[in-house]
Amino acid sequence: MKKILVISSSPRSGGNSDVLCDQFIKGASENGHSVKKVFLQKEKLNYCLACYKCRETERCIHKDSMNDIIDMMVEADVIVLASPVYFYTIDGQMKVFIDRCLPKYLQMNNKEFYFIVTAADDSIPAMNRTIECLRGFLDCLENPIEKGIIYGVGAWEKDDVLDLPVFDLAYRMGKEV
Ligand SMILES: Cc1cc2nc3c(=O)[nH]c(=O)nc-3n(C[C@H](O)[C@H](O)[C@H](O)COP(=O)(O)O)c2cc1C
């Protein structure tokens, strides 16, 4: 059994990427894995201040939930990063979240990663910059294993993803963790 942590960064609760997160979670849970989801919009994370206090303490000085989320990441075997595509990159909440991993990113070793991206555009190559942004985070970790990418392309309005093949694909990818 693996510990799976899903980071859902869209501001739209129940939006396309959040729905794909839930599909992935459904598949993984059915196979007996333990899954937790963090919906970033609810957490109201502050920006990294680059104060570097975390170098001494391994804790962030901000009094929000990021220290707890970081501990969940260190504990997890599998991390799913889900973002809508905003101006052809990740959304601001995902970027703030990644920056806030500074206190313990060097302890996030040997994790398996899945990416979920959603966009109005139906071109997968047009998602490259967004995927590369997520890979930039992985480049800073020790031995990350990129296991899969779920492209929710051609999905603009809420619920658009329900009618796309990626809806089932996310479930199947969760099953195959
Ligand atoms: C601020 C903003 C910027 C966006 N930029 C793009 C974009 O560059 N390319 C694109 O294809 N869709 C863009 N979209 C559309 C979203 O990616 C699309 O609605 C997606 O389904 C949102 O996913 P969500 O429901 O998980 O939030 C943008 C939407 C917003 C609100």
Q: Which of 147, 146, 80, 90 is nearest to 118 (CA)?
A: 90
Phi/psi region, residue 5 (left: phi>0; alpha: psi -120 to 50; beta: rest), is: beta
How many domains, the chain? 1
Confidence at residue 118, expressed as pLDDT on a 0 to 100 scale: 98
pLDDT of residue 35: 98
Query: Closest Cα to atom 23, ligand 1: which residue?
Result: 84
- Res 19: pLDDT: 98
Nearest residue by C-alpha to atom 28 in ligand 1: 86
> Do the Cβ atoms of 140 and 1 come closer than 8 Å?
no
Give pLDDT, residue 56: 97
* CATH number of the structural domain spanning residue 41: 3.40.50.360
* CB distance 173 to ligand 1 below 6 Å: no
Range of the domain at 15: 3-175
Q: What is the DSSP letter of 53?
A: T
CA 86 / ligand 1 centre spacing (Å)? 5
pTM score, two decimals?
0.98
**Which portions of the chain are predicted below pLDDT 70?**
none
Mutate to test the pocket of ligand 1, among 86, 130, 158 (most ligand atoms within 8 A of CB): 86
